[in-house]
A = this chain, B = another copy of it.
Amino acid sequence: MITSSAHSTEDKICPHNARQNCSSCRLSAICLPLALAQDEVVQLDEIVQRGRPLQTDELLYREGDNFNSIFAVRSGSVKAYRVSDKGEEQVTGFYLPGEILGMDGIGQNRYANSAQAMEVSAICEIPFSKIEDLSGRLPNMQKHFFKLLSQEIVEDQRHITLLSKHSAEERLASLLVSISARNARRNLSAFSFRLPMSRTDIGNFLGLTIETVSRVFSRFAKQGLIKINKKEILVLDIDALKRVASLAN
């Protein structure tokens, strides 16, 4: 346990000027270096670009842009969304520190989503051509990327099931459980956290209206599963929440 306070200061401590390499990054255990040997991480390090932080609502890339890089979230959070031909906007994912986005661009050489910062966020950019090179040389790297891509497929299929077969309560509980778990993975509290996204984004992601999201939040609070203060969430009964999620995932 790195922190016992409700809200970790992870994102506050020298957010954008931490020592600029993967080896010393505190996310290395869950981010790309995860799968690499010490000396391989050095090679990864050489191709990672760390730019200025993104401001809230700033776009990292836009749907249809030429695909050149994938990105890792170092601090903050990013949402990805696509616009259907019908003009409907669909949030396809939320990305927290240590998570990789942009891989949807590989197939068509264009991003299939837009990516937008939900708060001030530091992002690592990794040119994909360099990753291809590296993957050709380092079997670990290739293997890891195959895995990453595959996991995103499984993640998306889970979400398909969620949208197709589960109620509003199940969907929201599922999201809360997911965020809780991802926080825990980063050694943050699983029970007290701030949702980086708006109710609108949550609703859009879960295929619900903002009103329904709000009502379900209120119901959960009334039932004593959580305590809400705007975006601050205190999980009072994670097991009940998991039960509601029905493990809808």
On chain B, the residues within 8 Å of A142 by CB distance are 132, 135-136, 142
B82 & A161 in contact (Cβ 8 Å cutoff)? yes
Alpha-carbon separation in the docked complex, A164 to B142 (Å): 33
Q: Among the listed B84, B85, B103, B247, which residue makes an inter-chain contact with A84, where contact means beta carbons less than 8 Å apart?
A: B247
Mostly, the A contact residues are: helix
A105 & B146 in contact (Cβ 8 Å cutoff)? no
With both beta carbons as reference points, the residue of chain B lying nearest to A157 in the complex is identified as: B92
On chain B, the residues within 8 Å of A248 by CB distance are 84-86
A104 & B154 in contact (Cβ 8 Å cutoff)? yes
With both beta carbons as reference points, the residue of chain B lying nearest to A147 in the complex is identified as: B107
B139 & A139 in contact (Cβ 8 Å cutoff)? no
With both beta carbons as reference points, the residue of chain B lying nearest to A137 in the complex is identified as: B136
Beyond A90-B161, A165-B207, 8 extra complex contacts between A and B, CB < 8 Å = A82-B157, A84-B161, A88-B165, A104-B154, A132-B139, A156-B157, A163-B207, A164-B204
